[in-house]
Amino acid sequence: MSSLSPAKANPASAPVHPAPLRIGLIGFGCVGQGIYDILLRLPEFGAEVRRIAVKNPLKARTLPAEHFTYHADELLADPDLDVLIEVIDDANEAFRLVSAALRQGRRVVTANKAMVANHLPELVALQQNHGGTLLYEAAVCGSIPIVRTLDAYFGQEPLRSVSGIFNGSSNYVLTRMGTDGSDYAPALAEAQAKGFAETDPTLDMAAFDPRSKAVILAAHAYGVLLSPAQVLNLGIEHISATDIAYAAVESQKIKVVAGLYLLPDGQLTVLVTPQLVSRESPLYGVDEEFNGVVIEAEFAGTQFLRGRGAGGYPTGSAVLADLAALRGDFRYAYAKLRATPLAYTTDLELEIYLRTDNETLLDQLGFTDITEEADEDGYIVGYVPLDALLQHRDALRKAGAFVARTGNVRPAPAHSAASQELQAVSS
Ligand SMILES: NC(=O)c1ccc[n+]([C@@H]2O[C@H](COP(=O)([O-])OP(=O)(O)OC[C@H]3O[C@@H](n4cnc5c(N)ncnc54)[C@H](O)[C@@H]3O)[C@@H](O)[C@H]2O)c1
Ligand SMILES: N[C@@H](CCO)C(=O)O
């Protein structure tokens, strides 16, 4: 018989339809509604939202009130739910709920990057100790499958850098300001109306949100568990047409770039700041609420992932992928967490553009090298110790416009016998 003849029907090889996943959904805002709608549109996926917990009894919703409970703990106590999806906007309450669920050995999907970044060591330990699973693809860069890519595909390969645009709202605001000449406030209002921004938009605009995402990726890409406070995050609240025009003179754009850089001495550094991005960078064309991630891998070379970074449906798409992964018993390998941990350093200098009239701050930052100064526009360009930026970040946040000139870092002078510049960024 030819080996190409059709296989006889064999009951053992007939397609097996998985049992429907019974889901408890905690939070029914932008993302909660997004995943709910997606599951309704995909009946063949075989998942059913059995119970939904919400907070505000007065809010107008797309479903009748009898669909909701106002006590998320009831879902934790319900043994008939196979998976809990946590998509609320309160990181502390999210941790209480998710850690309680993991203590029961349950399967949980979350989109809450602040919660994951603040508690990653505990969340990993809870999974190990109680056998549950937590997946959080939706927490980082919306619909881009970056956590899975770093954890599973690049779990063994050394990475030189992982850098990109990790926040949709600030990217949307910068795009409106840069292309339409929009002012900051109406652009931010648009990002909020479209469901991209956090409930407290300071988290987006002051780059706390992309910092949480960078902290999560540091664990998967490098096996380094950071506390968010260790990472410099500066935002775009004071970026104005003056700064956008400065960038445009050299055909560059200002983007909020999160960078995780393996330095030539084998240490890791991470920073999240506005940065000048040149036309040659893959990040240059990442506009609106899109995110983009550039991976510089030892053997694979450069890879670039781009996709919608915010919004109910793109984020719901990542939750859907996590549900499918849970059904296949997927867990993060955290392979690099098991290796000897890399050291983390901020003992570096960063080339910055700063437009401020705060003379005290300029003195405190201790520029080691000034390469450009324009009194009439009130900006200064030069190298500053990263530790000084970390120390004075609260003052910097209020002081004026801050942009990393290139994202290049170099060793702080005391440690820079060779003083060569460390090319640590993709632009
Ligand atoms: N919006 C996005 O594009 C996006 C993308 C990725 C991740 N996220 C994350 O997803 C989560 C939800 O974001 P969102 O945009 O849907 O926010 P949202 O404000 O639209 O919805 C959150 C909802 O959670 C409810 N809530 C708060 N505490 C609750 C509790 N204890 N029990 C039940 N409900 C509670 C709030 O009342 C609100 O309706 C956040 O962690 C956010 O960071 C959002
Ligand atoms: N507020 C976030 C949502 C996606 O994580 C953003 O704008 O990127």
Lowest-confidence pick of 44-48, 51-55, 395-399: 395-399
Q: What band does 193 get if pLDDT is binned at 50, 70 and 90?
A: very high
Task: Mark whether 213 is an active-site residue.
Answer: yes
Order across the sheet with 68-69: list the strands: 68-69, 47-53, 21-26, 83-86, 107-110, 133-135
Residues of the chain with CATH 3.30.360.10: 160-307+342-415
| 126 CA distance to ligand 1 middle (Å) | 23
Per-residue pLDDT, 419 = 35
Q: Are strands 369-374 and 379-385 parallel, antiparallel or unpaired?
A: antiparallel
| 313 CA distance to ligand 1 middle (Å) | 13
Closest approach atom of ligand 2 to CA 198: 1
ipTM summary value: 0.99
Is there an atom of ligand 1 within 6 Å of 53 CB? yes
Instruction: Write out pLDDT tens, residues 167-181.
Output: 999 999 999 999 999
Is there an atom of ligand 2 within 6 Å of 178 CB? no
Closest approach atom of ligand 2 to CA 210: 8
Question: Is the sign of the CA dihedral 124, 222, 254, 387 positive or negative?
Answer: positive
Give the mutation target among 25, 26, 28, 31 for probing the ligand 1 site: most ligand atoms within 8 A of CB.
31
Say if residue 10's pLDDT is above 80.
no
State the average pLDDT over residues 271-296: 97
- What share of the chain in percent tops pLDDT 90? 84
Say if residue 384's pLDDT is above 80.
yes
Is there an atom of ligand 2 within 6 Å of 137 CB? no
Is there an atom of ligand 1 within 6 Å of 173 CB? no
Say if residue 264's pLDDT is above 60.
yes
Per-residue pLDDT, 48 = 96
Say if residue 425's pLDDT is above 80.
no
Q: What band does 406 get if pLDDT is binned at 50, 70 and 90?
A: confident
Is there an atom of ligand 1 within 6 Å of 315 CB? yes
Q: CATH for 17-135?
A: 3.40.50.720
Is there an atom of ligand 1 within 6 Å of 337 CB? no
Tell me the pLDDT of the chain averaged across its residues: 92
Say if residue 134's pLDDT is above 60.
yes
Q: What band does 338 get if pLDDT is binned at 50, 70 and 90?
A: confident
Instruction: Write out pLDDT tens, residues 215-225.
Output: 999 999 999 99
Give the mutation target among 30, 71, 97 for probing the ligand 1 site: most ligand atoms within 8 A of CB.
30
Q: What band does 14 get if pLDDT is binned at 50, 70 and 90?
A: low
Fold exhibited by the domain 160-307+342-415 = Dihydrodipicolinate Reductase; domain 2 (3.30.360)
| 32 CA distance to ligand 2 middle (Å) | 14
- What share of the chain in percent tops pLDDT 70? 92
